[in-house]
Amino acid sequence: MSGEGGAATRKAVEAVWRIESARLIGGLVRMVRDVGLAEDLAQEALVTAMERWPEAGIPENPGAWLMTTAKNRAIDHIRRGPPPAFELATRELPTAGRDLETTIDENVGDDLLRLMLVACHPLLSTEARVALTLRLLGGLTTDEIARAFLVSEPTIAQRIVRAKRTLTEARVPFEVPRGPELSARLSSVLEAVYLIFNEGHAATKGDDWTRPELCEEALRLGRILAELVPKEAEVHGLVALMEIHASRLRARVGPSGEPILLLDQDRSRWDQLLVHRGLAALARAEALAEPLGRYALQAAIAGCHARARTAPETDWNRIVALYDALVELTQSPVVELNRAVAVSMAFGPAAGLELVDALVNEPALRSYHLLPSVRGDFLSKLGRSAEARKEFERAARLTQNTRERELLMARARAS
């Protein structure tokens, strides 16, 4: 096949892998009970596709082709192993009249959910959960994950290797817990997905204000999760929050990549399809839970902004009430800081400043750049320009995002 044709085939293989890899690895984990081995077997199937498809052509159902190839390798691996390994790997699989080939294709939904729960197991550090989730469920390469979070490729590779080793050594069961235990484990999954989304929505480092590809990946994972556990309110709450925030991505960045803050955005550029999806997911969360959880409350706040046709029409009193509930639930200083912003919009900058001043000595916010940024905004509105300038300059020193630093320095100069 020509070089051009080979390149096109390679692109097709990579696209199929991105779509099918999670289902593939999830099914293999159920067979071999080892995340690392399952990924290796899936990668072998990918290499085989890279070798054969350029000559034979892309199969009519490429996902099924990869699954069959990987499944056969897994069966060979199990049958080559010592009897105890075979017994362990097949204990739940074949029953009368059934075989390995049949059972590997069943319970795809549970396979994906199991893989999410394993990749985000509480035994792992937050950073490891995020890296493993993007690797196993997003099909991203180590290099892609490293570039997304602006850390070195060896660092990400080490996190993934250690995570797999930790899961293996701890003999983490590859099963889907039920009832309250599932709800407790889901919180770890939701945290990882939310962190991925947040890094895309407001990048903590680098030269870009947003990274839409990470938002898209988190949204994809959230939507899958909502289908797998449709009765979990907080899953719908997180999906709602991400959909609504993602609807603003185009409006968050100016022509030259400069940040545009919420109240200054052109709301005609908000994606109304995502807004509609987000509000629908919020309605599902509200129907399933009373009181609302942390993600559903944040989604309800985002919904207040989404429903306002213009910034002045925002229902700030409602937002303050929602933040009151969120503060009570989370006891988070960051949430208290966000509540101070809402209070300032509802009752004036002096009221907001009083709340922020009470947070100045909070240890968790000592290096958080948004504390001096918010305080500078309140001081500026109160006409205390010199103090505001110092706060904006301090915030600029604390942030690691180039675009945000430029914005804060511009605000300091304007004070």
- Please write the tens of the pLDDT for every residue from 140-149: 888 888 887 7
Give the dihedral sign, CA 107/109/110/116.
positive
pLDDT for residue 405: 96
pLDDT for residue 290: 83
One-letter identity of residue 46:
L
pLDDT for residue 291: 92
**Cβ atoms within 10 Å of 204's Cβ, excluding its own:** 13
Q: Could you tell me which residues come within 8 angstroms of residue 244 by beta carbon, excluding any fewer than 6 positions away?
A: 274, 275, 278, 279, 282, 299, 302, 303, 305, 306
pTM for the complete prediction? 0.82
pLDDT for residue 85: 41
Of residues 227, 223, 230, 228, the one with CA closest to residue 246: 223
pLDDT for residue 4: 57
pLDDT for residue 109: 62
pLDDT for residue 5: 58
Quote the CA–CA distance of 18 and 134 in Å, as a whole number.
11
Which residue ranges of the chain lie beneath pLDDT 70? 1-6, 81-109
Q: Domain-by-domain residue ranges, the chain?
A: 1-106
CATH code linked to domain 1-106: 1.10.1740
- Please answer whether residues 40 and 94 qualify as being in contact, where contact means their C-beta atoms are separated by less than 8 angstroms: no
